[in-house]
Chains A and B, each alone.
Chain A
């Protein structure tokens, strides 16, 4: 029994060592340059941050539209909130575009998808 345990233990250890070494076994002798973890540069970091801001602004607009439709937000509150939100969303889209984003038809809520991009003029505020 003890021998069987030792054999099984040994097999388990060998299997684990092989599995752990696998990245080195699959790509032996890789030059240091090719063995680097991807490190985003400052521009990529900025684009990510802008993309998050952009998503946040668009989501806020969608949420406001929905809350207005459900009656949770009154017409007066909607009118007061929608303008700044649209401006924020447009600014975020514009900044993302300027940061190297290939202006691919992002859209503001209330419009069909892909009809507005950073290059187009900002749509005016409106109630729905």
Chain B
């Protein structure tokens, strides 16, 4: 039923345009029923997008190859799970997912927040309508997933790299993050357009921003794990433009989540917060542009389409429009208070923001550099890993240190004596650990050693924060330590959820430092390993036993068997290999990973090539602590859930505030 899909998309476009035009007219002329009608149009646009998505999903599951999209991205032998994930495996499907998620977010945001921020919502609706119109227009006019053809006997199949369980979850989560950043952007624009730049837009978007940021974070971690197990080079982050495209809006949103606290507590940084929201949204559109346009060389660009100029035009329009609006409303965004001391909580948030934005812009420059050199000099020059690694150390290590210092510094100002007293214990502990690590030989990598020491410092401060807080709570409310601990977290979920997220970042830093600065690598270069040959790497001995082949479902597997020993102990067999996919006529590398839950270490073996005589060329990596990166993901989710969990006391306080002000009296 491609006609139904097309009709649903055209309807979605019409409804989005209506939401934009009628919403703007209603907000301008203060017409209540028209404003409600525009809100309903957004909800109806979501229903239409859902129908279009349902049509595509049904076509995928029925292997209806008369849909060009289905024939281009699936085959009859493709497992059902990957047939579903083919929905977002191609450009048209992923744009439809964008539209579906966007209209879903838009409906939920206007329905849930329409009472709390009524004047702002009136302008939020047209903003969301404009963004939805853009994506609906792309799907209707430029990249329709409902193009048809004479049905071939079988489809072309799905790119083998995408036939991985992580690819089922990674793109939707990433899109939930990217698209989720539209909500704070729309509220920020709503506040500016309505001239209501009080805290209500921040209160209304607090959870949306945190949810989008959480999804974006988890999506990236899943993507990193996918790259690690599937791409077959033994790493998890390659500073690839498309990977960077997801990191940049996350960094901007991280900065916003911190600086917004300064606005809430002190009424400062209003302009900066607006700029960060605009930046995060524009970078999320830019990320989609990079992924989908094929304008940059990337291992993640699975499609090259004609949508690049459309995206570029939209990004320019949004950036110019929103910056112009911020500039126009500058008088409303002036702070009434000033930074009282460079040694205060708000100052540490400011430093944190500067570092995050500097890192974000540095990455943006690295991503754009090949495009600029291509445009200016006619040849594309890319910046390599050393560039990114250098700036990650320059900005990332101080950020890590600030994560420990910030929570211990009081608001307004802190005396040096107080600081010395409160930082003394964690500093001493981390320095002692640093000394111990030097003794154990970790001094071979200075950045690695610094990262470990700073991580220990941050972890100590987090533990101390929880311990002191629990003790103080117990002193006030009585009861046992466990009760006091639970009450402490429950009464300030954002703060203590944030600390748990900080602990996740520490785990991530330790995992990244351990697996990159202290990894051991062996690579066969000139003479292939023959059965019976052995190599030693990182204290392990690998004995090559031979090659084997077997056919599984839609592919043929080639595997090289290695027996692994530590000293005289036999640890097991690892079988790296390659899969050849029949329908797709493509080969994928299948790395063998052996993980130790106890030490967090991975032993990775990658089959780089084989000879007719049964010899193999392999790469073996011993990656200490790499599993802490994935563990960090679980801790990150736990922290975000704590911070996102509804707080009835806070809701009551806000309701009371607006009741007091009379803002709700006539709503």
Contact = CB atoms under 8 A, between A and B. Distances in A.
B37 interface: yes
Given A49-B198, A56-B267, A74-B415, A67 B36 contact: no
Interface string B252-290: 000000000000111100000000000000000000000
Interface string A42-63: 0011011111110110011001
Contact of A1 (B1, B15, B266, B662): B1
B472 A48 contact: no
Contacts of B48: 12, 16
B47 interface: yes
Given A12-B8, A20-B37, A23-B37, A37 B122 contact: yes
A38 B119 contact: yes
Nearest to B118: A38
B464 to A, nearest CB: 9
A81 B422 CA distance: 18
Interface in B461-518: 465, 468-469, 471-472, 475-476
A60 B30 contact: no
A66 B491 CA distance: 12
Interface string B162-195: 0000000000000000000000000000000000
A108 to B, nearest CB: 15
Contacts of A5: 1-4, 7
A18 to B, nearest CB: 9
Name which of B11, B27, B34, B662 has the most chain A CB atoms within 10 A of its CB: B662
A60 to B, nearest CB: 6
A55 B40 contact: no
Contact of B468 (A12, A50, A72, A101): A72
B37 A22 contact: yes
Interface in B645-662: 653, 657-658, 660-662
Interface stretch (B237-245, B405-413, B619-627): B405-413
Interface residues of A, number: 55
B647 to A, nearest CB: 14
B562 interface: no
Interface residues of B, number: 62
Contact of B15 (A20, A49, A50, A70): A20
Name which of A4, A9, A56 has the most chain B CB atoms within 10 A of its CB: A9
Nearest to B37: A23
B122 A9 contact: no
B11 A69 contact: no
B33 interface: yes
A2 interface: yes
Interface string A67-91: 1011111101100010001000000
Contacts of B18: 20
Interface string B411-441: 1111101100110000000000000000000
B468 A9 contact: no
B11 A71 contact: no
A101 B43 CA distance: 38
Contacts of B40: 19-20, 22-23
B26 interface: yes
A86 to B, nearest CB: 13
Contacts of B411: 60, 63-64, 67
A9 B8 contact: yes
Nearest to B36: A23
B663 interface: yes
Given A5-B1, A16-B15, A77 B468 contact: no
Interface string B17-58: 010000000110011111111001101100110010000000
A12 B4 CA distance: 10
5 contacts: A6-B3, A21-B37, A22-B37, A50-B661, A51-B661
Interface of A: 1-2, 4-6, 8-9, 12-13, 15-16, 19-24, 27, 30, 35-40, 44-45, 47-53, 55-56, 59-60, 63-64, 66-67, 69-74, 76-77, 81, 85, 96, 100-101
- Top 5 nearest A-B pairs (CB, nearest first) are A9-B7, A48-B661, A23-B36, A70-B468, A5-B4
Given A13-B11, A40-B663, 18 more contacts: A6-B3, A16-B48, A19-B44, A37-B35, A44-B661, A47-B661, A47-B663, A48-B661, A50-B661, A52-B198, A59-B265, A60-B411, A60-B412, A64-B410, A66-B472, A71-B422, A77-B418, A81-B413
